Chain A
Amino acid sequence: MIPTLIGVVLLVFFLFKYFGGDPAAVLAGKQLTADKIAAIRAQLGLDQPVIVQLLIFVKQILTFDFGRSWSTNEVVSNMLVNRGKVSLTVMAQVWFLDAIISVLLAVIAAYLKGSLSERLITGICTAAMSISLLLYVVIGQYFLGFKWALFPVMGWSESFWVNVTRYSPLPVLLMLAVSIAPSLRLYRTFLIEELNQDYVRTARAKGAGDHRVMLVHVLRNAAIPIVTNIAMAIPGLFVGSFVIEQVFSIPGLGREVVLAVDRSDFPVIKAITVSLAMMTMLANLGVDLLYKWLDPRVQLK
Chain B
Amino acid sequence: MHSIQSRAADKGWGLKMSDDVLLDVKNLQVTFRLGKQERFTALKGVSYSVPRNSVVALVGESGSGKSVSAMAIMGLLPRANTEISNDSQLIFNGVDLLKESEGELRDRCGKEISMIFQEPMSSLNPVYKVGEQIVEAICLHKPMSKLAARKRAIELLDEVGIPQPELKIDSYPHELSGGQQQRVMIAMAICCEPKLLIADEPTTALDVTIQKQIVELLMKLRQTHGMSILFITHDLELVREIADQVVVMHNGVIKELGEASAVFDHPKDPYTKALLACRPTLDSRPIRLPVVDDFLQGREGELPKGERARGVLPTDPIVLEVKGLRKSFTAKRGFFQKEEIVAVKDVSFKLARGKTVGIVGESGSGKTTLGKTLIRLHSCQGGEVLFDGKNLMALSQKEFQPYKRRLQIIFQNPYASLNPRFTIGDILLEPMRVHSILDSDKDRTEHAMALLKRVGLAESAFFKYPHEFSGGQRQRISIARCLTMKPEVMICDESVSALDVSVQAQVLNLLQELQDEYGMSYLFISHDLSVVKYISDEVLVMNRGEMVEFANSDELYHSPKHPYTQKLLAAIPGRGNH
Residues of A within 8 A of B (CB): 114, 197-199, 201-209, 212, 216-217, 220-221, 224, 294-297, 301
**Contact (Cβ within 8 A) B125 A208:** no
Q: What is the CA–CA distance of A197 and B127 in the complex, to the nearest angstrom?
A: 13
Chain B hits for A220, CB < 8 A? 125, 127-128
In the assembled complex, the Cα of A178 lies from the Cα of B531 at a distance in Å of 61
A199 partner residues in chain B, CB cutoff 8 A: 122-126
- By size class, the interface of chain B is 20 to 34
Q: Which of B19-27, B105-113, B461-469, B499-507 contacts A (4 or more CB under 8 A)?
A: B105-113
Closest B residue, CB atoms, query A218? B125
Task: Check A206–B137 contact: CB distance below 8 A.
Answer: yes
Q: Which residues of B lie under 8 Å from residue A216 when comparing CB positions?
A: 136
Contact of B110 among A114, A207, A297 (CB under 8 A): A207
Set B111, B123, B124: member contacting A207, Cβ < 8 A: B111
Please, which residues of chain B bring their CB within 8 A of the CB of A221? 125-127
A198 proximity list for chain B (CB < 8 A): 117, 119, 122-123
Q: How far is the CB of B92 from chain A (nearest CB, A)?
A: 14
User: Which residue of A199, A203, A294 has the most chain B CB atoms within 10 A of its CB atom?
Assistant: A199
Is B185's beta carbon under 8 Å from chain A?
yes
**A46–B361 alpha-carbon span in the complex (Å):** 69
Q: Are B111 and A205 in contact (CB under 8 A)?
A: no
CB distance from A220 to the nearest CB of B (A): 5
A164: shortest Cβ distance to chain B, in Å? 36
Say whether A209 contacts B106, CB under 8 Å. Answer: yes
**B125, A207: Cβ atoms under 8 Å?**
no
Question: Is there contact, CB below 8 Å, between B114 and A205?
Answer: yes
For A205, the chain B residues whose CB sits under 8 A away are 74, 76, 109-110, 114-115
Closest to A202 in B: B123
CB nearest to B335 among chain A residues: A301
Chain A residue nearest to B105 in the complex (CB): A207
Report yes or no: A208 in contact with B74, Cβ–Cβ below 8 A: no
CB-based contact A208/B117 at 8 Å: no
User: What are the interface flags for B73-92 relative to A under an 8 Å C-beta threshold, 1 for contact and 0 otherwise?
Assistant: 01110001000000000000
Question: Closest B-chain residue to A201, C-beta based?
Answer: B76
Closest to B191 in A: A206
Let me know if B108 and A295 touch, CB within 8 A. Answer: no
Q: Shortest distance in angstroms between A299's beta carbon and chain B's nearest beta carbon?
A: 10
Q: A198-B117, A297-B174 are in contact. Are A208 and B126 (CB under 8 A)?
A: no
Cross-chain pairs A/B with CB under 8 angstroms, 21 sampled: A114-B80, A199-B124, A199-B125, A201-B76, A201-B123, A202-B117, A202-B123, A202-B124, A204-B75, A204-B109, A206-B109, A206-B188, A207-B141, A208-B140, A209-B103, A209-B106, A220-B125, A220-B127, A221-B125, A224-B127, A294-B127
The reply to whether B115 and A208 form a contact with Cβ atoms under 8 Å apart is no
Render B142-175 as a binary contact track against A, CB cut-off 8 A, 1 for contact.
0000000000000000000000000000001010
Q: How far is the CA of A207 from the CA of B136 in the complex (A)?
A: 10
Taking CB atoms, residues of chain B closer than 8 Å to A206 are 109-110, 114, 136-137, 140, 188
Complex CA gap A221/B172 in Å reads 14
User: Which residues on A sit within 8 Å (CB–CB) of B122?
Assistant: 197-199
Contact across chains for B126 and A296 when beta carbons are under 8 A apart: yes
Query: Is A204 within 8 A of B76, CB to CB?
Result: yes
The complex places the Cα of A201 from the Cα of B185 at a distance, in Å, of: 12
Quote the shortest CB–CB distance from A205 to chain B (angstroms). Answer: 4
Given contacts A220-B127, A295-B127, contact A202 B185 (CB under 8 A): yes
